[in-house]
Structures are given as C-alpha cells and as structure tokens.
Chain A
Amino acid sequence: MKGIGWKNLKRDKTRMLVAVLGVVFAVVLVTTEVGMLLGLVRNASLLIDRSRADIWVSTVDVKTFDFATPFAQRKKYLIQSVPGVERVEEFNVSYSIWKLPTGGNANIQVVAFDPWGELAAPLSMTEGSLDDLHNQDAIIIDDGERAKLGNPAVGSYVEVMQHRAKVVGFTHDMRSFTTTPYVFTTLSRSETYGWLTNGNSGPSNSIYFLVKVAPGANVDEVRRAIQGSVPDVEAHSRESFSWRTRSYWLFETGMGLGFLAAAFLGLMVGGVIVSQTLYAMTIERLPEFGVLKAMGASMFDLARIVLEQGLICGLVGLVLGLAISLGIGQAAASAGTTVLIPQPLVLAVAALTFLLCSAAALVSIVRLRKIEPAMVFRT
C-alpha cells in the first residue's frame, strides 16, 4: 500500500495544506518557546558556566546567582587556608543605577572581578580590550544592552551610582538573564559603582569567592572542607551552582512552566488540526478503505496509508516550521533576545513531530478498524 497516502494528499491539496499548517504551527511554537527558554536559562548561569573556578563560595542558602548576599571579605583567607585550595579570587555582583541621557535611571548589575585573575569568565570582547579596564573609571558593557543604556560608545562618559564611569569596551552575547544589564568592572570599583560597603564605612564585603583546587585534589572533598572550616558559607561545585541558578528561574518562579505550557499548548493545537484533517480525509475515503479491506488488505495495510499521510504532513511541516523558527531566532537575536535552537532541540522537535503525526493518524486508524468490509456493497 506504499505510496497511496502520498497520492491521496496530492489529490487533496487543500487538506494537505491545512494539515501542514497545523504541524508548522506546532513546530514553530515548540521550537521558539523552548529555544527562548534555553536562551534565557543559558544566560542565567552564563557567568558561572564560563568561569574557570571549580568551586563557588557564597553565603548560605543563595537561591540564584543574581540574588546573593554579601559576607565578610576576610573569609577569603580562611578559604585560602583550606587544604587542596590552590587559588581564591573575589567576584562581586550587586545591583546599581545607571543614569540615562534622558534623565531617567536604568537598573544595572555591576559584575566586578579581578582583571589579572584567572578564574572569572573571560569576556568576549567585540570593541575595546580587557586591558582598558585598568584605566580610571573604566567599565565594559554588552553590545546587546546599548539601547537600554542610552547607546553609549567606546569612550563615552556615563554616570553609575552617582559616580563617573567611562565605557572602554563592549562584550558580545554576555547578557543578564534578568532585564538588568551587566556592567563589568574591576573589584576596586565594585564598592564605588555597587551597593557593597567599603572599608571606610565598615568591614569590606564580598559576594562570591571563586576557588581553584590544587592539581590532584578532589573538588567535592575540598568543597566540603571549605564548608566545614569556614563559618556561614556554602561552597558549590560550578555545575551544582549553575543548576541551582537555572532551576530557580525554571521552577521556583514558574517561568519554565509558563514557557513549557505555551509550547505544550501549541503542540496540542497543532495535533488537533492534523488529527482532524487526517480524520476528515479518512472519512471521505471510507468507501475506498472498505474496498481495500474487502479485497483482503490487512489493518496494517490500511493503517500504513493513513500513517504515511500523517508522516508526510509531519515532514513537510517540520522542515517549514524549523526554517521559520530559525528565522524567528535570527530576528530575535537582532532585537536582543536569545533564542537557542541547538541540534538536540531540533532532533527532539523532529521526534515530537513524528510522534504527534502518528498520534493524529491513530484517531483515523481506530475508525478504520471499525469498517466492515461488507460496507462495499452498500456504497
């Protein structure tokens, strides 16, 4: 019975078009929703994942990278003294205010790290150089955040937390998960541009310490040793801290559920469209299926025709849907939103599409099971 499904579709182009559109709708929604979610989640833990630290040390019960609380800077020396620790670097993240040219303010996240250090995530520069960060009042921002920050250029002077700052360079694709842009600067300026208390008004504070373990040392053992010997801190492996950050946004805020629900809804709507179209085609051709059954075609033969129709619609819809999704991804990127469509997502969407079309065909196949071959003499 090979080929009959395709010929049926060719003869009924309108229905084929409707079924393909149903698949396209589902593919585009699933791919872009999940792609956006992946993009957001990747950004959420970007600075953790790209860091070269084995262990991140924070205060206890930090839920996510963005919402850590300060602790005494002097604990660095306690961490340094733990056996197996090779190197410790301070890494600060704090919210701050950027004065816009219009007179308004924009919230920002000041990310301060040691430019001579080895453990923070390297900045992918598109303009300027990391070395320029050593200049006075220097800051670096991401090129995707320019518009949000009043379109500064390299060399522009801006106001951050009522202090003068100079934009010395731009990164690419290093954007915050939240809507607040990252502003990269040195540790010494984190107290000027951020909320952290400095040594003049009390003990100096830090947000994170990045730890590199000595060659041959076990990361988990060192992590537990830090927690055991330094009071009121939590030491995370890079992977576990990354996952904690992602899972916070995904599950605790309901954001992930929202995206997945939208994707699921798209899948269901697309599935219903395909299913109804295939069913209508099957009902219209019921006498033909009856004839085939009367001639001795097995249920497998008949199911194969409907399945073929579903899978062809699925394949055409998948190709078109993915092409449209990639286009949306590119358009979104130029508008500053990351939509990640990695190969595993494409494969998953393809598998889901074929599953969807098979399930949609199943409704028709169940109907075909009920055909009495004797119907051929009544039609």
Chain B
Amino acid sequence: MSQAVIETHQLGKRYEAGAQGGLWAVRGVTLNVYAGDVTVLMGPSGSGKTTLLSMIGGLLDPSQGYLSVCGVTLDGCGEPERQRFRRKHIGFIFQNYNLLQALTARENVAIGLRLRGYDESEADGCLDLVGLARKAGAMPHELSGGQRQRVAIARALAGAPPVLLADEPTAALDAEQGRLIMGLLRKRAKETGTTVLVVTHDPRVRDFADRVIEMEDGRLHRIVRRLRRVPRSAAAPRVRPHRHPRKEGRHVSP
C-alpha cells in the first residue's frame, strides 16, 4: 500500500449556531486517500461532503481531529499557511466552473500557473491536455458548459498539483460531457498519480471511481472499493502526455 496523500483521524467540523449550541457538519471522519486514486464522495444534501472537501482543501479549519494532506498538517493551521498550502498542493474544480469572466480560456489557466510560480506560456499545454488548445483565445461566454468545465480542469491542473478536489463537476453538464470530464480526471490520476477526490450526487460518476465513500449526517457511512471497468464511451479525448515542470516525487506508490 502506498503512503496516504490525504489522512484524517476523527476529523470534525462544528458550526456555532447561536443559542441552539451549534451543529456538527462533519464528525469522527477517519480516512486515508492514496496517490493516483479517484475517490468519489457521495451522500444526501447536508451530509457533510462539501464541508469535508473544504477542510481537505485547506478552505476550512477543522474543529477537531487530525488532518494531513501531502504531508502538511492542516488542523490548527493559520490562513497564511493554508493559503500557501492551497497554492502548492490543491487544484479545485467547481460545479459552476467559476472561470473569471473577463479573461480568455488561456488567461484563466495562466492564473493557476502564475499563482504556483510557473511560466504562463504553459497555459496552452494545459488546455491541450483537455483538448481545448484551439479555444485558448475564447472568452468563457463563448464556450459550452462542457468546454468551460474543461477550461476549469485545465486551470486546476496547471502547475500539476498533487491533489484535485472537485465539487459536483458534472452537475451542470449533460451525460456525455459528464463522462468526458470524469474520463479526463481519471486519466490524469492514473497517468500522473494525482489524487482525485470528487463530491457528487451523480450516480454515473461511480463508474470512474476507485473508491466510493458514502456520507450521512456528517459521518462516513460506507466505503466501497470498486473493481471498475471504464465504459468505452467515456474515453477521454486523445491528448498528448503533459510534461510536468515540477517533479517532486510526491505521488510515490510502492
């Protein structure tokens, strides 16, 4: 078994809610996620999936427990340290793409590169990875939903972060585009050892997962390890292998 990239032990997040004494959104979560794995987090609304994802991504400070991502202990970390952590280790993908509307596809990707200290000229290479090299100069409003999400993935991949966190990446897409996006993420995980954690309601996403974790009432309900077979129609677009500017050997598998 390779070393876990994401490690949590009895992790919890409590929101204070006035006189009623507060609410545990996540509690007692103990979980290991390994390099190159595609892990899908499922569960009903309010089950704590997104809160867990936010803590793993260094966006929220845990209220209790232990959390380590890429060897960085995040519980009790200040915002400046978490900011540096996010910049270096995490790529985010959102349901609504969240592209900067005033920038072209290339410029959106360049932001990810710039923040991670890479040369912006690599933006075209990142877009090529998601099959959108020809749309580099397009504004977000000129792209379809699927293309926007692919630009968002290219932005998340920019600088080759070891962990990709995706929140409902297929929710705004049709079935075909959804499969395309998940295919891309899985391909990335397997080719480069990137750890991919996806929060979703979409049952089709299960097909692309190495593990499916179901959450309920803020706790891990069930973990299913899948022996998966990727459907033929879900194949990712043919892409050139991406040469990573940084090779730190973080995604070591035994």
Contact = CB atoms under 8 A, between A and B. Distances in A.
Interface stretch (A21-29, A150-158, A289-297): A289-297
Size category, A interface: 20 to 34
Given A291-B98, A376-B94, A377-B54, A298 B103 contact: no
Contacts of B107: 7
B136 interface: no
Contact of B100 (A288, A373, A374, A377): A288
B20 interface: no
A12 B101 CA distance: 10
A287 interface: yes
A214 interface: no
Interface residues of B, number: 28
Interface string B62-104: 0000000000000000000001111110101010101011110
A366 B57 CA distance: 24
B43 to A, nearest CB: 15
A379 B54 CA distance: 13
B42 to A, nearest CB: 16
A126 to B, nearest CB: 56
B53 interface: yes
A8 interface: yes
A296 B84 contact: yes
B100 A295 contact: no
Contacts of B85: 296
A10 B102 contact: yes
B59 A295 contact: no
A379 B50 CA distance: 12
Interface string A1-21: 100100110111000000000
A297 B60 CA distance: 16
B96 A379 contact: yes
A7 B103 contact: yes
A271 B29 CA distance: 51
Q: Which of A12, A292, A294 has the most CB of B within 10 A?
A: A294
Interface of B: 50, 53-54, 57, 59-60, 83-88, 90, 92, 94, 96, 98, 100-103, 107, 111-112, 114-116, 167
Interface of A: 1, 4, 7-8, 10-12, 285, 287-288, 290-298, 301, 372-374, 376-379
